[in-house]
Structure 1
Amino acid sequence: MADGMSNVISNWMSQLELVDKSCPNCGGRLLRPRTLNKETGQKMAAACIDCGYKEPIGKRTTPTAQELTMQSRKNQAYGYLRKNSILSTPSIFNYNFDNYRTDATGWTRALTFAKGIANQIVQGKTVHALFIGNSGRGKSHLAMGIVYDVLKRTQYNKKIAFIDWRELIDTVKTGMHDNARDVQAYADAILAELKSADIIVLDDLGSERDTPFTKDICDSFWRQREDKTVITTTNLKGSELEVAYGPRTMSRMAKNGQGNSYAMSGIPDYRSIKK
């Protein structure tokens, strides 16, 4: 019975798409049907799965060929992001620049820095950005904000994946067992995309247990991404990163990282303070 209900929910969710803005009521995810309205030729109104808010239905016109092409590219870009990301929580998909806190000087400065990183990427530069700071400082929020900003400003012409480092390590380890071939296939597909994606967000580097295996995975990742854009968040300081992963990996991280690191010090815990 539970499996049947799960299949029904899964089939229903597959017919919906994520909208690139948050719910104005609660900041949650807005979803809408993938299919066009047969009468107007436009996308249907989106609704929030958290609070039930529904977009008002305004006057709609038949989309132009250019608008349809852009919508198709947008769907493909978001589809790639969802398919090839490994997250600690799906709520990360709700993060963007618009709903990032700016009621403290430290947060405002961090947001300005993140927008500068997005500008460089949009201009075609290869960037190794690094956000350093304790948990709860908004590093992941800013990284996802960069993702959405870059996608929109490049007309959805980038392949981007958001990878929680610890979740990736755990997935790869699980896939190594004989009875987990489906997990292994999934992990192999993700690892393959790490090589070819235009941009990778490497979230929470250093959160995994320090072993030779994790060091090998990290070394392999940075060999593949040495000349491709990576946005990294970590709780470790520069010296701690070098101890954890070695000077060779740090050299590759630093190759396109000059001026692209931000220490989120003097910033209160993002989660503990109410707006």
Structure 2
Amino acid sequence: MISTNKIMSNRKEFERLAIEKAGLLPTGELSTCEWHGKFELFHILATDEVVCPKCYLEAKNKRFEIEETTGSLQYKDKEKKRYLKRYSIYGGRSFLDKGFKGFDAKSKQELEARDAAMAISKEIASGKVLNAILTGPAGTGKSHLAHAIVFNINAMSAEYSNQLSCLFIDFTSVMELIIASYSNNASDKKTAEYYINLMKTADVLVLDDLGTDVGKTDTNKMASDHTYKTLFKVLNAREGTKSTIISTNLTYDQLKNAYDSRISSRLSMNLKIIYFSDINDKRPGFGF
């Protein structure tokens, strides 16, 4: 970028830069500019126009700033779009390439669950901040639809509003990685704060299979203190500003009991619940 005030104080330097950098040639004729007073007319070699050199260079600098800002935003959008693939932590992977179209919806309950998930995906992609809980028995397609939601948001949010950074986290797996990091047994030496910050900062976060740490759904067991504190840090940082989607075998009431009201209250804003309780187990050999 050319600093017009600095270089115009040095006549020879200005002429050299005007010719080399801007394609301007001094004409030797004087004129008056309403913005810059008396000036020597310069000839634009590329277009054959005659202009005030300072006006021309200031306009050129402004165009450069706009192009630079646009390029920076495009780079940030590309980085955000890579977030899902680069940083997600999966347990199972059988649903990764299936999306909404790959969800086998035949019964009324399955169609309702899929349509509700698609509606949530569109709302978040268009810029709305909300929370969602997908609740029901194991094997009913909760993880499949949770991933379809975040995958669709990642693909479509730039077209609706702004590119959103998306993250899919298998909760059991990330807790194992966090615990391993305390004893320095983690193979990649990532810290607990690394994983917690990932979950705190993503625009859209899926916490998959939350509640497996408390065991069967017919018990009143509560989450461990460590699990509770980790989850609270994440949800407290996200409350009201970022969308969080949770899949769980627990009912909403069981979730509140296992993790207490401080956790559930941070999910309650704009909360949508999709029920899978009447859907058969979709895993091969189960429920059919």
How much has 1:74 moved relative to structure 2? 8.1
How much has 1:273 moved relative to structure 2? 6.4
From 198, 205, 210, the counterpart of 1:200: 205
How much has 1:123 moved relative to structure 2? 2.5
Is the CA contact 1:169–1:208 (under 8 Å) kept in the aligned structure 2? no
Distance 1:85 1:234 in 2: 18
| Counterpart secondary structure, 1:131 | strand
Structure 2: which amino acid aligns with 1:263? Y
In the alignment, what sits opposite 1:262? 274
Distance 1:217 1:139 in 2: 23
* 2:273 is the counterpart of 1:224: no
1:108-136, CA deviations, whole angstroms, 9 ceiling, x for partnerless residues? 11111001101211221111011100110
Distance 2:109 2:184 in 1: 48
Change (3 A) 1:154 1:246: same
TM-score with structure 1 setting the length: 0.67
Distance 2:97 2:199 in 1: 22
How much has 1:188 moved relative to structure 2? 3.2
Distance 1:106 1:179 in 2: 44
Aligned pair count? 204
Change (3 A) 1:165 1:179: closer
**Ranges in structure 2 where 5+ consecutive residues have no aligned partner:** 1-73, 215-222
Distance 2:135 2:185 in 1: 38
TM-score with structure 2 setting the length: 0.64
Structure 2: which amino acid aligns with 1:95? K
From 197, 215, 225, the counterpart of 2:228: 215
In the alignment, what sits opposite 1:168? 174
Is the CA contact 1:132–1:236 (under 8 Å) kept in the aligned structure 2? yes
> What is the percentage of aligned positions where both structures have the same residue?
29
Change (3 A) 1:73 1:272: farther
Structure 1: which amino acid aligns with 2:91? S
How much has 1:240 moved relative to structure 2? 1.0
Q: Which has the larger radius of gyration?
A: 2
Where does 1:121-132 land on structure 2 (aligned, <5 Å)? 121-132=124-135
Is the CA contact 1:84–1:190 (under 8 Å) kept in the aligned structure 2? no
Superposed CA RMSD: 2.6
How much has 1:223 moved relative to structure 2? 0.4
Structure 1: which amino acid aligns with 2:257? V
Where does 1:134-173 land on structure 2 (aligned, <5 Å)? 134-155=137-158, 157-173=163-179
Distance 1:92 1:189 in 2: 26
